[in-house]
């Protein structure tokens, strides 16, 4: 198998595993925050072992980078808690679709947070894409009332997308000189320490079944896909990675249908197509500098 083909396989495997992560919001019988704490703890240990076995340097280059690592860990911790909470309230398929508003959110946030001088005025194209995303999200909402669990889940999913966009922009500008596993080691460790103070169910009260699922999501669905994703970028462009990552809602939805028997309405399908199509177009457009 050629290096590029192998990288493409690694990329699809990582996106499939990322999509499967959402299933654990339903499979694990714990609050979203507790799932995030135990997941990040397991992932941090696995990533530390991985980097040690590869004889990679664990420490960071300067004191400033530790500050950035803490900030990224806080942001990603909030992202993961709201990600799982959104899935628990709205369902896996709708939750993933709501989360995939992040490419469009990124376009509007990047001029505000980027170190580079990016033109701050949104293009007409971006405004149209944002409007399409809003229409797609509107089609997902059963009623304009935060008392409705699905509506609240969608709102939480969009909040998760907001923090994920912030994390990606900060990482790109201040932390991209580190490898994927190295970066995720610090982010998972910081998130674990920060959120561990608020755990509702202590470790000794977690059932054996839930511990098995936590180990599965921490190792196979967190540490492994990040390592695969980082490896795939050696022979693939960021454009290819970004576009294929937009398949995550499809993979997640199919897995939710097969494993959780989760069904969706026609309006949800239409709304999902609008949101994911907008994400695909925006990812392609930004990568081409248009």
pLDDT at 127: 82
Task: Note the pLDDT of residue 216.
Answer: 95
Long-range contacts at 199-205 (CB < 8 A, ≥ 24 apart): 199/33, 199/34, 199/37, 200/30, 200/31, 200/33, 200/34, 201/30, 201/31, 201/34, 203/38
Domain count, the chain: 1
pLDDT attached to residue 239: 62
pLDDT at 287: 60
Q: How far apart are CA 211 and CA 19, in angstroms?
A: 20
pLDDT at 283: 72
The alpha helices in the chain, defined as continuous H runs, are 3-21, 24-27, 32-53, 63-90, 92-99, 102-113, 124-140, 149-174, 180-196, 208-218, 224-232, 238-245, 248-260, 266-287
Residue at token pair 């026609």? 266
Residue 90: give the domain boundaries: 3-287
Write out residues in the chain with pLDDT < 70, as ranges: 1, 114-122, 233, 237-239, 286-290
């Amino acid at each position: 198998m050629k290096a590029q083909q192998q990288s493409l396989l690694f990329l699809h495997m990582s996106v499939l595993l990322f999509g499967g992560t959402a299933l654990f919001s339903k499979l694990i019988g714990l609050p979203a925050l507790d799932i995030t704490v135990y997941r990040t703890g397991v992932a941090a240990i696995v990533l530390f072992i991985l980097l040690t076995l590869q004889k990679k340097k664990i420490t960071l280059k300067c004191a400033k980078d530790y500050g950035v690592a803490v900030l990224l860990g806080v942001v990603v911790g909030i992202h993961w808690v709201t990600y799982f909470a959104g899935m628990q309230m709205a369902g896996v398929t709708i939750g993933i679709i709501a989360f995939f508003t992040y490419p469009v959110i990124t376009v509007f946030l990047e001029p505000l947070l980027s170190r580079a001088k990016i033109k701050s005025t949104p293009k007409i194209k971006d405004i149209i894409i944002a409007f399409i995303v809003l229409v797609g999200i509107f089609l997902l909402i059963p009623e304009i009332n935060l008392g409705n669990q699905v509506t609240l889940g969608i709102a939480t999913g969009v909040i998760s997308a907001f923090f994920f966009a912030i994390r990606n922009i900060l990482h790109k500008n201040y932390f991209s000189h580190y490898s994927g596993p190295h970066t995720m080691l610090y982010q998972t460790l910081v998130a674990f320490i920060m959120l561990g103070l608020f755990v509702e169910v202590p470790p000794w009260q977690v059932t054996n079944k839930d511990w098995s699922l936590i180990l599965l999501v921490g190792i196979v669905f967190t540490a492994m896909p990040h390592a695969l994703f980082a490896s795939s970028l050696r022979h693939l462009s960021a454009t290819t990675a970004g576009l294929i990552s937009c398949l995550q809602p499809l993979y997640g939805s199919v897995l939710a249908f097969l494993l959780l028997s989760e069904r969706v309405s026609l309006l949800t399908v239409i709304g999902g197509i609008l949101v994911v199509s907008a994400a695909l177009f925006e990812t392609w457009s930004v990568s081409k500098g248009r």
